[in-house]
A and B are shown apart, each in its own frame.
Chain A
């Protein structure tokens, strides 16, 4: 019977893709049944849902429906990978362009109160075709360099969209327009928190990891303490640190002058640093433990000192694992830095929590979207780096 099915499959020219069926179903629902955009007369009132053909000028609306249907059919049948990439990219670009046009065409001329935001249908379509793109790319399995190039291309496209003002009619961009200066300040603070605490954790965590690798008795204790820190909820750790830092600021001369304060950036920075230590130390230990004995023996045979061995042999061999630790820390810190807003530490969390407080979801998005994009970019770039260093290690 099994042989029969294989022959049958080969005979029929049109084979269906299982994932394509899901994508086509999502796309059909998103395009025909769910609203494409939400129109609100002002920021507070209940929105009106608009379908694709209501939100867009007639020709463009039906054009989008046709494009989505075509791309869904291409996903549905077993088409070649490059066709799928092209279909997914074309649909995604069209969606990005048309949501901007929808904002302009729905907003009454001259109105500065009206708000247009993407609705569930738009997000579903983006999700469906991003899924198609992700699947096609996974099948292509591009190398780290290609992945980073692709990311740069997509970011450039998004940057061009933002710079051209094509999206300025969308509510999230209106929230941005009224807060451009504070957005830049909070973005800077978010990056400072995430990257600064990473740098501090690397500066302390690497030596600590090397020490733990060399001194067995230290290892269990240090890792135990760092593990325990991870169990304290971030919200609480940020809060608990307010007290000791406030005390230091009051008691140690000069501490307040360099920015140490009970509330604000200092406790957030220290909390992120403490959370970052475990992945740094643990990955350093694991990486060093994974260095083959033969490599160390050969180095010893060559008469290398402990320090030379560490710099020339152990560290380069352990580097991919340490880099994987840095990846974990960076992605985690970008996410956790949002909580800093609750203790006055700033960052994108300011907009998220303000938005939650005012039930203004566009404001929430203004904080959440950059955070997600940042974490996503960091993950892709560092994953590519990890893979590149691993590959190089193997060649040598």
Chain B
């Protein structure tokens, strides 16, 4: 018997899909929010298509961030890279103080308008939570397990892939989850530099004083964020449970 929370999420997903397939159904709900002649449903592009572009941007940026961040975390926790560990910690701290808008704005002169600066900003911003969590995961492994692995004659490489990474995986996934949720919201700001994301809908609403547009764009992102967050959390729990067995 699925719990109430699961049912609610399923309902949210269905409403979202219904909104993409039959936006006209929702018109009466949004109509009171706009002036008499203004459209209540976003009409300057296909919402489903924009959502897919939005998700693609977030996915590409997070994938790149995860690969780089985890590799870096592995590097600084090896003997050869140990010198970089303290510095990388303070860099992560400093990096997190950079506001996303500033990162985005500063990326424009180098990469021009469009999707590129958004990808760069999301990538840089996504690095930090993943790196921090990967570092935590790799540095707080139970000493007894590591000792046993060494005693069993595993090489450093075997220890990394068979013991350390699998044990750290749930914590790394938590970092990826944080990063995805931040990126989903931050990607909307990318539309201020002409990236094609759901931010387009919100900005169109702000510019034409159309609250229905703002609400649509915002709620689609929020529902996506909640659903993806919960799905990843479920995955983490499943993995953590397996690790304990």
Using a CB–CB cutoff of 8 Å, the interface residues on chain A facing chain B are 17-19, 120, 131, 134-135, 137-139, 228, 230-237, 239-240, 242-243, 331, 334-336, 338-339, 342-343, 349, 352-353, 355-356, 361, 364-365, 367-368, 371-372, 375-376, 378-379, 383
Contacts and interface: CB of A to CB of B under 8 A. Distances in A.
Contacts, number: 143
A235 B99 contact: no
B50 to A, nearest CB: 13
- Interface centre among A131, A231, A234, A343, by most chain B C-beta atoms within 10 angstroms, is A231
Contacts of B218: 232-233, 235-237, 239-240
A232 B217 CA distance: 10
Contacts of A376: 94, 97
B70 interface: no
B98 interface: yes
16 contacts: A19-B87, A134-B87, A138-B87, A138-B89, A232-B185, A233-B184, A233-B185, A233-B199, A233-B202, A234-B188, A234-B189, A356-B192, A361-B109, A375-B97, A375-B98, A375-B99
Contacts of B215: 236, 240
Interface of B: 33, 81, 83-84, 86-87, 89-91, 93-94, 96-102, 105-106, 108-110, 181, 184-186, 188-189, 192-193, 198-199, 202-203, 205-206, 211, 214-215, 217-219, 221-222, 225-226, 229
> Counting chain B CB atoms within 10 Å of each CB, which of A120, A131, A339, A383 scores highest?
A339
B109 A139 contact: no
Contacts of A379: 93-94, 96-97
Nearest to B198: A233
B191 to A, nearest CB: 8
B221 A349 contact: no
Given A134-B91, A231-B225, A352 B101 contact: yes
B102 A338 contact: yes
A19 B193 CA distance: 35
Nearest to B98: A372
Contact of A18 (B84, B89, B98, B219): B84
A236 B225 contact: no
The prevalent SS among residues of B at the interface is: helix
A356 B108 contact: yes
A317 B104 CA distance: 39
Contacts of A19: 83-84, 87
Nearest to A238: B206
A237 B217 CA distance: 10
Given A139-B86, A334-B99, A235 B93 contact: no
A120 B111 CA distance: 13
A371 B99 contact: yes
Contacts of B221: 231-233, 236
Given A231-B229, A364-B108, 4 more contacts: A234-B188, A235-B199, A338-B99, A367-B105
Nearest to A341: B101
Contacts of B202: 233, 235-236, 239
A356 B193 contact: yes
Contact of A235 (B189, B219, B229): B189
A76 to B, nearest CB: 13
Given A367-B105, A368-B105, A239 B86 contact: no
Contact of B33 (A231, A243, A335): A243
A239 B211 contact: yes
A243 B212 CA distance: 10
A111 B60 CA distance: 46
A131 B86 CA distance: 12
Contacts of B93: 379, 383
Given A134-B91, A228-B226, A364-B105, A236 B188 contact: yes
Contact of B203 (A138, A235, A237): A235
A342 B206 contact: yes
Given A138-B86, A353-B192, A239 B206 contact: yes
Contacts of A236: 188, 202, 214-215, 217-219, 221-222
